[in-house]
Amino acid sequence: LTPKDLAGKHVLVTAGPTREELDPVRFISNYSSGKMGYAIARAASRRGARVTLVTGPTCLDAPWGVETIHVTSAREMRDAVLERYASTSIVIKAAAVADYRPARRAPDKVKKSDQPETIELVRNPDILAELGANKGGQLLVGFAAETESLLENAGKKLNEKNLDLVVANDVGQVGAGFNVDTNIARLLYRDGRVEELPLMGKDALADVILDRVRDVKSKK
C-alpha cells in the first residue's frame, strides 16, 4: 500500500523537450524523452498529490489521474506554468527547455537555395529562474543535465535560480540522462549537502526525489 504522504499538496511537474520552430515544418529541439518528469508525475499522483503535468512533445501516454497540459515551445511552457504557479506548493522542473529559439519563424516553408543559410537565435525566457525570483512559499526543484563540471554548474543553478533542491545528472555517463530508463543522480541541497545516489530506474528515482522534497518541505 502506498502512503499518501503528499495528500493536500499541488505538485506541478514539467517534462520533455520544447520545440522552437523555424518554419511550419522545421524546429530546433533536444533529445529529452520526458521519462523522468512523467515518472515523477505518476509517483506524486500515486502518493496522493494533486498533480499538473506541463509537457513538451513526447511519445509517452498522459498519466492516469494527472491533469496534463501539452505545450510545444518554451514560451508556451512558461505561460502554462506561470498561470498555475500561485496555486502550487511544489514545482519540479524536469523539462529540457530550449535555451534559444530562432529570431524569426517563417510563415511558409523555407526553400533551399545554393547559398549558405544562417539562423539567428535569441534567448528564451528562463522559466525556473522566473519562478525562483517570484517564490511565495513554493518548494522549487530543478534539474541539471551536464556533460562537464557537474557539481559546480548544478550548485550555481541552485543559488542563481533560488531553488531548494537540484537533481544533477552527468548525461555523458552510460545509464544516465536522456532517453534511457535509468539515471545516476546527485542531489544538491541549500545547506551545501550533496547526496550521491546509485544507478537506478527513473521510477525509483522519482520516489527518492519525492521523499526528499517531502522532508525538506516539512522543515520549511
Q: What is the contact mask toward ligand C5P in residues 171 to 210, using x (rule: CB under 6 A)?
A: ----------------------------------------
The answer on whether 211 is annotated among ligand-binding residues is no
Residue 66, classed as helix, strand or coil, is coil
For ligand C5P, the binding residue among 21, 67, 76, 126 (CB under 6 A) is 126
The interface with ligand C5P within residues 57-86 (CB under 6 A) comprises 74
Cell 502550487, residue located: 88
The answer on whether 143 is annotated among ligand-binding residues is yes
CA distances from 117 to 22, 170, 210 (A): 12, 33, 46
Interaction between residue 51 and ligand C5P (CB under 6 A):
no
Interaction between residue 44 and ligand C5P (CB under 6 A):
no
Nearer to ligand C5P, 43 or 97 (CB): 97
Cell 491533469, residue located: 67
How far apart, in whole angstroms, are the C-alpha atoms of residue 179 and residue 193? 28
Nearer to ligand C5P, 2 or 160 (CB): 160
Number of C-alpha atoms within 13 angstroms, CB side, residue 43? 21
* # residues contacting ligand C5P (CB under 6 A): 13
Interaction between residue 19 and ligand C5P (CB under 6 A):
no
DSSP-assigned letters across all residues of 79-116: HHHHHHHTT-SEEEE--B--SEEES---SSPPPP-SS-
Quick check: is 134 catalytic? no
- Nearest 10 degrees: CA dihedral of 153, 56, 13, 36? -70
Interaction between residue 53 and ligand C5P (CB under 6 A):
no
Task: Find the shortest distance in angstroms from Cβ 74 to ligand C5P.
Answer: 6
Nearest to 35 by CA among 96, 85, 122: 96
Helix ranges restricted to H, 9-86: 35-46, 74-85
Which of the stretches 63-71, 94-102, 104-112, 180-188 binds ligand C5P when contact is defined by CB under 6 A? 94-102
**Nearby residues of 125 by Cβ (< 8 Å), 6 or more positions away:** 74, 75, 78
The answer on whether 99 is annotated among ligand-binding residues is yes
For ligand C5P, the binding residue among 138, 143, 165, 184 (CB under 6 A) is 143
Q: What residues are designated binding site for CTP?
A: 99, 109, 125-128, 143, 157, 161
Binding residues: 99, 109, 125-128, 143, 157, 161
Q: Give contact residues for ligand C5P (rule: CB under 6 A).
A: 74, 93, 95, 97, 99, 124, 126-128, 142-144, 157
- Kindly list the catalytic residues: 30
